[in-house]
Structure 1
Amino acid sequence: MGNQSKGRLVWNHSTHIQGLIPVLEQLISYPGITTVTPGVISRSKGHSPRLKLRISVPIRGGYKAIARQGKTVQEVFIVTELSHEELETAINTVLS
């Protein structure tokens, strides 16, 4: 895969966790990440004071991740050829 073009961010929801979109926009500029799609938003019992993005489960062609901020949780689907470890490194880099 020789082209170094930016991946795409899919806007399929009108609501997103505060601060999530800038992080996802940084993530799609990573080589090997093709598509990032924010999914369903829900409420959680726990409270996360700052934005977290954690890889949850593998999906076909990538991974599902869970974004958390405050009491809000949002699924994020990441289509990538990166390994679990490489994606985790990319996520930690854009969150730091």
Structure 2
Amino acid sequence: MGRLVLNHSSNIEGLIPILKRLALNINIKTITPAAISRVRGRSSKLIIRLSVKTLNGYKAIARKGKTAQEVFISTDLSKEELKQIIDIYNKK
């Protein structure tokens, strides 16, 4: 079971419950929500998508409305395996 690091006082609405369920996966070590920014486009519901590979895993971008937040996921899973797991939560 992974660990969810909560160092920010603010996160995108609805993101933390999804990350808590994602952290239950045995192959995920750590999930760290990071910088929040404003974006041009608009997303009606919360969507998480993988961005780039990092030293320990992957960076993902969570988007809802005009807000985006970086999420760092430390894991040994491949990009495709992690994408399949995240897609389960994107559909809910």
TM-score range, shorter chain: over 0.9
Distance, in Å, in 2 between the alignment partners of 1:71 and 1:9 is 24
Is 2:89 the counterpart of 1:79? no
Distance, in Å, in 2 between the alignment partners of 1:66 and 1:20 is 11
Structure-2 residue corresponding to 1:62:
57
Partner of 2:61, secondary structure, is strand
Q: Displaced runs of 4+ in structure 1, greater than 2 A?
A: none
Is 2:31 the counterpart of 1:48? no
In the superposition, the TM-score normalised over structure 1's length comes to 0.92
Distance, in Å, in 1 between the alignment partners of 2:56 and 2:34 is 16
Q: Name the Cα RMSD after superposition.
A: 0.7
- Structure number, greater radius of gyration: 1
Distance, in Å, in 2 between the alignment partners of 1:34 and 1:95 is 20
Q: Deviations over 1:43-64 (max 9, x none)?
A: 0010000001010000001000
Q: Alignment identity in percent?
A: 54
Alpha-carbon distance, 1:21 to partner: 0.4
Asked if the contact 1:23/1:95 (under 8 Å) is kept, the reply is no
Structure-2 residue corresponding to 1:14:
9
Structure 2: which amino acid aligns with 1:64?
K
Query: Which residue, 31, 34, 37 being the options, matches 2:29?
Result: 34
In the superposition, the TM-score normalised over structure 2's length comes to 0.96
